Amino acid sequence: MEQKQEGTAGDELMPVQPNHRIVELDVLRGFALFGILLANMLFFSFPYMHISLTGTNHWDAWIDHAVTGFIRIAVEGHFISMLSFLFGVGFIMFFEKAQDKGRKPSGLFVRRLLALLVFGLAHAFLLWSGDILVFYAIAGFVLLLFRHAKPRGLLQGALLFFLIPVLLMAVLFGLLSLTDTANDPLMEAQLQQWQSEERQLMEAYSNGSYSDVLEARKIELSLAYSNSIVTALPFIIGLFLLGAYAGRKRYFQQLSSHSGLVNKVCVWSLVIGVLFSALKHIGQRNIDPMQVSVYDIFHFAGLYIGDPAVCLFLLTSILILLRKRMGMRIFRLLADAGRMPLTLYLMQTVIATTIFYGYGFGLFGAPPRWLPLWALGIFAFQLAFSHFWFRQFRFGPMETMWRLLTYGRLPSSRKPENKQLSA
């Protein structure tokens, strides 16, 4: 979750100091964190993966369908794409800064990924099955293989990994289209199993104890890992490589020199993103879990083309707004949040599961109409928390732990009283 430049202190490679940061990257990370929270609210409050498979309708009111539709079209997939892209940018900065100082950063990066994997596994099994950190850690090891690649190689690698799930799905659809899946007893049995699991999850998360939730979480983790290894993991690797390409080209270090490119990417990504996001929504609304159809193709085309395009549109739009004084004043509020993404990501899970799960306030299954308000409230608290935290400390609490596991020792974490550090 953390993409930062690395600095040096004495003879040791050490974390970047706050006054050496690129504020635009912090702003973008902060913006992505809010989008991820809003998208995840459906997963926090419903067995959303199973609902997507069974097609069960839990809501009757138009406003609930409008809110879920908005999150699916405007939010879902776009902001995790942005954060993944930024991870790739930070990866290149990490390596180039270390190499400039004559260091070999591969070992440090491996330790960083192993620490991230530990955080992710604890997060997934103890708190919430929707964890992304495990996949980030695994994708990071693949990214490490491209550490010496030229920009063209990084871009070609990104396109290759974007194509992998598309080709796999095309083969799968082709095979399934040769069979009558609508009358296949195995498909019918699978649907009944998903429906049964959905009821189990609703009961466990609504009324169960923490031990009941732990048991139910195994169902979701089994589904998430079996599906995501084929679909999500190559996609994340592709976004990492796309971000690494931008990092290698030094776009963020030299933003003023690339304003024309930013404008062009903004326009074209909007056109492509709107088109394929519409296809994605049409596909989602009409997919029949019992039968392969053209709507499955619409959905995956929107997922693997539309989501990255919308991500680039949002990213470049913010960069354009940050050129203006008013835009910088507004979006700079997100910079502190972007300096502690790992802390806030995990905090979102703790707060949301406490709100929705039975061992907390028990609001699991509440109408989706309230989810945007919950997300705004949680993120407003996080903005205040990050602002006050950085008045005293240089690094977020989980970022401090991550540094300890990566470097084996910590720089001074308390902020000097006589020096005002920038974001």
Domain ranges of the chain: 6-407
Under DSSP, is residue 393 helix (H, G, I), strand (E, B) or coil?
strand
The predicted-structure confidence for 105-116, as pLDDT tens digits, reads as follows: 888 899 999 999
Contacts of 132 (CB under 8 A, 6+ apart): 80, 120
Are 119 and 128 contacting, i.e. CB atoms less than 8 angstroms apart?
no
On the question of pLDDT at 139 being above 90, the answer is: yes
Q: How far is CA 193 from CA 50, 54, 188, 196, 199, in A?
A: 10, 10, 9, 5, 10
Q: Which of 149, 119, 160 is nearest to 136 (CA)?
A: 119
In the prediction, which pLDDT does 179 show?
66
Tell me the torsion sign for CA atoms 28, 52, 170, 133: positive
Provide the pLDDT for residue 7. 41
Q: What is the pLDDT of residues 151-172, one digit of tens each?
A: 999 999 999 998 887 787 777 7
pLDDT at 177: 65
Cα Rg for the chain, rounded, in angstroms? 22
pLDDT tens readout for residues 164-218: 877 877 777 777 666 665 566 777 787 788 888 999 999 999 999 999 999 999 9
Task: Give the mean model confidence (pLDDT) for residues 100-106.
Answer: 72
Q: Report the pLDDT value the prediction gives residue 182, as an integer from 0 to 100.
A: 58
Q: Name the one residue in this structure whose structure tokens are 């192993």.
A: 114
Cα torsion angle, 157, 307, 313, 383, sign: negative
